[in-house]
Amino acid sequence: MNILDIQGVSKTFAGANGGTLALQATDLQVQENDFITILGPSGCGKSTLLRMVAGLDTPTTGSIALDGQPVAGPGADRGMVFQSYTLFPWLTVLQNVCFGLREKGMALAEQQAIAQQFIGKVGLKGFENHFPKQLSGGMQQRTALARALANNPRILLMDEPFGALDHQTRELMQELLQGIWEAEQKTVLFVTHDIDEAIFMGSRVVVMSARPGRIKSDIAVPIAHPRAYSVKTTPVFMDLKARLTEDIRIEVQRAAGLLPA
């Protein structure tokens, strides 16, 4: 069953020279419990597409529906995690995770019970009373993930959430999120520049063309769950990586003007 239906969505940003087409008319259907990773060269419209699903930007043409209802602005049914940690620096870990629940008018005891559950899931038990400045980058991003999950969104939207982390922390966060997704069975739309990350995390990998972006391919990842990190050395993984690397390389060359559009 489709949870998210994107039909003919394009985006043109206004400008002095008549505007810039960032995203061509795009169709994408996302099913319940899909984990879709989106790859593409810089400036191809990946984040623009995600922001329109989040209701932070408005499509120039087309429509976006979540559970059959038009997306007309931000909503609690979509949880957003950005590359920057976007935590409130004056709030503790517990208070940050409770924030959306408080905005819903939930009783304090219930807020804290739910928040503690997800703080535990992301491995931050014992850090409830720490402030963001007292946490590493990986711990801040785990807090942001717990905050998004605590609101029980229908779909989780992630815009290069691990891009600012060091390599080892990034790998740990990939495994953590993969485990949470397997347990919670959330639907995820995940933007990344990292091909290994896209394959390891995704049930489908969507590749976008150079700007103006369009969906070039939509590839199922034939690797069973649960996934151990060792799958990155398997022939299936390596073959898919080679295919995606070539796809992205061609689009980067187009973006640089080295190949015809």
What would the two tokens of residue 247 be?
A: 């796809």
pLDDT band at 36, cuts 50/70/90?
very high
Q: What integer best gives the mean pLDDT of the chain?
A: 93
Residue 254, φ and ψ in degrees, nearest 5: -65, -45
Residue 28 clears pLDDT 90, i.e. is over it: yes
> Which tens digit of pLDDT belongs to each residue from 245-254?
999 999 888 8
- Alpha helices, DSSP H only, in the chain? 46-54, 93-103, 108-121, 137-150, 167-184, 195-201, 235-255
Could you read off the pLDDT of 170-202 as tens digits, one per residue? Answer: 998 999 999 999 888 899 999 999 999 999 999
Percent of the chain with pLDDT over 70: 100
User: ∠11-15-20 over CA atoms, to 5°?
Assistant: 40
Beta strands across the sheet bearing 215-220: 78-81, 155-159, 187-191, 35-39, 204-208, 215-220
CA dihedral 129, 134, 137, 138 (to 10 degrees): -40
Signed CA dihedral, 47, 44, 25, 39: sign only: negative
62 sits in the region (left: phi over 0; alpha: psi -120 to 50; else beta) called left
Q: Hey, which residues does 220 pair with through a beta bridge?
A: 204
Q: What is the model's pLDDT at position 19?
A: 83
Residue in 116, 166, 107 with CA at minimum distance from that of residue 143:
116
Q: What would the two tokens of residue 183 be? A: 């347990």
**Residues 225 and 179: beta-carbon distance below 8 Å:** no
Cα–Cα distance for residue pair 209/181, rounded to 1 Å: 28
